[in-house]
């Protein structure tokens, strides 16, 4: 029987071993990748240094290659290097999506959106960002990445001059990152929302946010955030016509160690509005040609203030043409490729749906096989347990028959009392035994005997007056053994006295456990062991130990 059980266990164990067969030792590249992953958020420069030492050709297909693609793209972005190759991150996104690795899937989609944004492929970038956003919203522990995706979407709408959408997604970004309480991203998300309010002409709301971000910049000693917030404050003042205030802010920024070209540009614009033409003419020469159409606007106002109508008209035409060119380019980026992108993205979406369905089918098949194997295991376990119970009950029948036969031979009053209490049940068991052999050990006969013995065991027990009578007869037959035992060990429990009494009569532990309604036979062995330990310390130990 043991061999048959072992073969059945092999049915369950073999598939599990096959699942583990592909597991090998860890590669050095995987150790390096995990080291880079641990540093990516706090020390992206160190993370990039580790990643650049890894030979891409030696990466294994699967997790190694996918993790490398994600971390390398993240490291480039966090070091402000603006990655534009999406082949690595596309592999990462596909792999983590197939594997159901939600966190890395969301990160991959977000950074692929960032790469596509750098290439100014805005429709594709929006698809990746929205994919990351929806997954992050669904899995609330990933809400930070949902916020970051909203930030990317907001930036795209800003590029497309869709200021209303820019404000909506900037506000959503701030709400999600605030929920995650992740700094310094929370401060910058608030700054972005302030910028979006300014872009929509809501200067009062924008200025309220600016005061918050300036306080945060001082609190966290973030000089870049302070500079950007002060610049936004100057823009709001300029938009409101508060040119003196805006001039002071942009002058401070232009003279700081973090000065940027845009600070001088807006300082020049404030000077023009304040009719400080000579200072404005000096500054406008330093403004790059790449800063059009702002330069055109400044030159137009300078010429107009000087009464040079012809030159002012030329700059106005240049301003008009430059503005049309920029807006047209932005609209073309969004619209000219819409049709081609629609079919391409739709095709990719269909492929993704097919792959997703295949994955679901595989999961369903695997779960079904697993459940089937579990059912087989349960059936085998129950069958073995059932056979053990039948054997145990049959053994009980044999033990009970031996005890009663022994009692008949001793012809004592005590054994007669036992026979009276167990006699009728014994004959039922004896009759069942005859049925067992008559049915030639069939399953039906086993079930019949098992049920009959089970009912009998439930009713079995000696208590009350009969238990007292039994103890009296044992004292008569065995020279007051129970009286001496109780006197020698008065601190014992009634259950201990009963175990000793049944042991005198020769009852095995299995019989005693049934008579005392003990669920486990081990408890009887433990109590008998305890009794032996106590008796060995007694001066009349030999008198009592012979019965245990």
Q: Would you state the pLDDT for residue 342?
A: 46
Q: Is the dihedral of CA 465, 466, 469, 470 positive or negative?
A: negative
Residue-by-residue pLDDT tens, the chain, 548 positions: 444 444 444 444 444 444 444 444 456 778 888 888 888 888 899 999 888 888 888 888 888 898 888 989 999 988 888 888 888 899 999 999 998 889 999 999 999 999 999 988 898 899 999 999 999 998 888 899 999 999 999 999 998 888 999 999 999 999 999 998 988 899 999 999 999 999 999 999 999 999 999 999 999 999 999 999 999 999 999 999 999 999 999 889 988 888 888 888 888 888 888 888 888 888 877 776 656 667 777 777 887 777 777 777 777 777 667 666 666 665 555 553 443 454 455 555 556 666 666 777 777 887 878 888 888 888 888 777 766 666 655 555 555 555 545 544 444 455 555 545 544 444 444 555 555 555 555 565 556 555 655 555 555 555 667 778 888 888 888 888 899 889 999 988 888 888 888 888 888 887 788 778 777 788 888 888 888 888 888 888 888 888 87
Query: Cα separation of 503 and 284, whole Å?
Result: 113
Rounded Cα distance between 217 and 328, Å, is: 37
Its pTM surpasses 0.85: no
Cis peptide before 286, with omega less than 30 degrees from 0?
A: no
The pLDDT, as a whole number, for residue 1 is: 44
User: Which pair of tokens denotes residue 369?
Assistant: 């096989």
**pLDDT at res. 477:** 83
Report which of 303, 289, 302, 291 is spatially closest to residue 266, judged by C-alpha positions. Answer: 291
Element at 450 (helix H, strand E):
helix 443-459
DSSP, residue by residue, 17-56: HHHHHT--PPPHHHHHHHHHHHHTTT-HHHHHHHHHTS-G
Check if the beta carbon of residue 407 is closer than 8 Å to that of residue 419.
yes
pLDDT value at residue 12: 42
Cβ-contact 69, 89 below 8 angstroms = yes
Peptide bond before residue 18 is cis, with ω within 30 degrees of 0: no
Q: Tell me which residue of 508, 389, 410, 506 sits closest to 452, measured CA to CA.
A: 389
Task: Determine the Cα–Cα distance for residues 420 and 424; give it in Å rounded to an integer.
Answer: 8
- What is the C-alpha to C-alpha distance for residues 474 and 481, in angstroms, rounded to an integer? 7
pLDDT on residue 6: 43
- Token look-up 């056979």 returns 387
Report the distance separating Cα 337 and Cα 120, nearest Å. 11
pLDDT at 391: 62
């Amino acid at each position: 029987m043991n061999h048959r059980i072992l073969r059945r266990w092999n049915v369950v164990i073999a598939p599990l071993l096959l699942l583990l067969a592909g597991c090998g030792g860890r590669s050095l590249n995987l150790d390096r990748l995990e080291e880079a992953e641990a540093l990516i958020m706090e020390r992206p420069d160190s993370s990039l240094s580790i990643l650049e030492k890894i030979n891409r050709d030696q990466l294994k297909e699967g997790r190694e290659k996918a993790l490398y693609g994600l971390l390398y793209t993240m490291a480039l972005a966090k070091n402000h290097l603006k990655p534009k190759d999406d082949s690595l991150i596309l592999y990462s996104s596909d792999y983590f999506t197939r594997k159901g690795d939600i966190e890395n899937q969301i990160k991959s989609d977000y950074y692929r959106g960032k790469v596509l944004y750098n290439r100014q492929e805005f429709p594709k970038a929006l698809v990746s960002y929205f994919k990351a956003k929806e997954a992050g919203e669904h899995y609330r522990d990933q809400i930070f990445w949902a916020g970051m995706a909203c930030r990317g979407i907001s930036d795209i709408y800003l590029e497309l001059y869709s200021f209303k959408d820019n404000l909506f997604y900037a506000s959503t970004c701030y709400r999600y990152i605030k929920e995650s309480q992740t700094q310094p991203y929370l401060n910058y998300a608030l700054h972005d929302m302030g910028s979006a309010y300014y872009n929509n002409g809501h200067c009062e709301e924008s200025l309220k946010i600016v005061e918050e971000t300036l306080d945060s910049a001082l609190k966290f000693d973030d000089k870049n955030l302070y500079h950007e917030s002060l610049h936004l404050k100057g823009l709001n003042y300029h938009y409101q016509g508060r040119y003196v205030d805006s001039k002071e802010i942009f002058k401070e920024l232009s003279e700081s160690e973090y000065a940027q070209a845009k600070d001088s540009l807006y300082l020049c614009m404030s000077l023009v509005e304040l009719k400080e033409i000579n200072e404005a003419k000096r500054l406008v020469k330093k403004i790059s040609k790449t800063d059009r159409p702002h330069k055109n606007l400044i030159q137009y106002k300078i010429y107009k203030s000087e009464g040079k109508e012809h030159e002012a008209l030329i700059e106005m035409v240049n301003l008009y043409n430059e503005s049309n060119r920029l807006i047209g380019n932005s609209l073309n980026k969004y619209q000219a490729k819409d049709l081609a992108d629609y079919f391409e993205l739709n095709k990719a979406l269909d492929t993704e749906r097919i792959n997703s369905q295949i994955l679901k089918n595989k999961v369903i098949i695997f779960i079904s096989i697993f459940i089937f194997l579990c059912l087989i295991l349960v059936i085998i376990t129950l069958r073995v347990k059932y056979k053990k119970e039948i054997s145990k009950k049959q053994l009980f029948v044999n033990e009970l028959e031996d005890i009663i036969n022994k009692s008949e031979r001793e012809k004592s009053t005590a054994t007669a009392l036992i026979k009276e209490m167990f006699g009728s049940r014994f004959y039922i068991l004896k009759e069942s035994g005859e049925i067992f052999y008559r049915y030639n050990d069939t399953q039906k006969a086993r079930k019949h005997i098992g049920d009959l013995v089970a009912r009998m065991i439930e009713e079995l027990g000696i208590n009350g007056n009969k238990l007292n009578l039994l103890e009296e007869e044992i004292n008569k037959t065995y020279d007051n053994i129970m009286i001496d035992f109780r006197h020698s060990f008065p601190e014992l429990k009634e259950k201990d006295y009963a175990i000793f009494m049944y042991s005198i009569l020769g009852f095995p532990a299995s019989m005693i456990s049934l008579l005392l309604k003990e669920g486990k036979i081990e408890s009887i062995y433990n109590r008998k062991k305890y009794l032996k330990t106590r008796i060995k310390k007694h001066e009349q130990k030999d008198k009592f130990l012979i019965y245990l």
